[in-house]
Chains A and B, each alone.
Chain A
């Protein structure tokens, strides 16, 4: 089991690169 109090908790989206393509239209 995971003990959230003793360790930092990171949001899931931190792990995913944010690739936002620039739209050129």
Chain B
């Protein structure tokens, strides 16, 4: 009998690119500082999360990247999230950027990201550790 999908939680990111990923977009950090999206560093996210009373940075390691059944414009990225290595899959546009620790913006198709958003971007690969958020009180 065909097996059911593994018990992962799945989050579908809206099928449009949010405006804040466009090069030059102004981002406000938790301490009020304003930075352009392309100038953000790993420390900006970490420090903002430390200030936040609700949000916590988690390390999400890319475990698998595959094409979506929905559309060739989409990819399914499977992450191992946090210390418990919970499996989470997200379906995103191939140009959707993720922030990789110590590296910066990366996407499944960096050429398209750069073309559409002008956001400097590298190729997202299996083993990359991305920044993600969870609630501090989520256990």
* Contact surface of A with B, Cβ cutoff 8 Å: 2, 4, 7-24
Contacts and interface: CB of A to CB of B under 8 A. Distances in A.
B8 to A, nearest CB: 9
B109 interface: no
Contacts of B29: 12
Contact of B139 (A2, A12, A23, A24): A23
B133 A10 contact: no
Contact of B132 (A17, A22, A23, A24): A17
A12 B135 contact: no
B26 A2 contact: yes
A8 B30 contact: no
Give the dominant DSSP class at A's interface: loop
A15 B44 CA distance: 12
B134 A18 contact: yes
B128 interface: no
Given A7-B26, A10-B25, A18 B133 contact: yes
A19 B133 contact: yes
Given A9-B26, A10-B25, A21-B88, A16 B34 contact: no
A8 B34 CA distance: 11
Given A12-B45, A14-B20, A19-B81, 20 more contacts: A2-B35, A8-B25, A9-B28, A10-B25, A10-B28, A11-B28, A12-B28, A12-B40, A13-B48, A13-B52, A15-B21, A15-B27, A15-B99, A19-B90, A19-B132, A19-B133, A20-B9, A20-B138, A21-B87, A21-B134
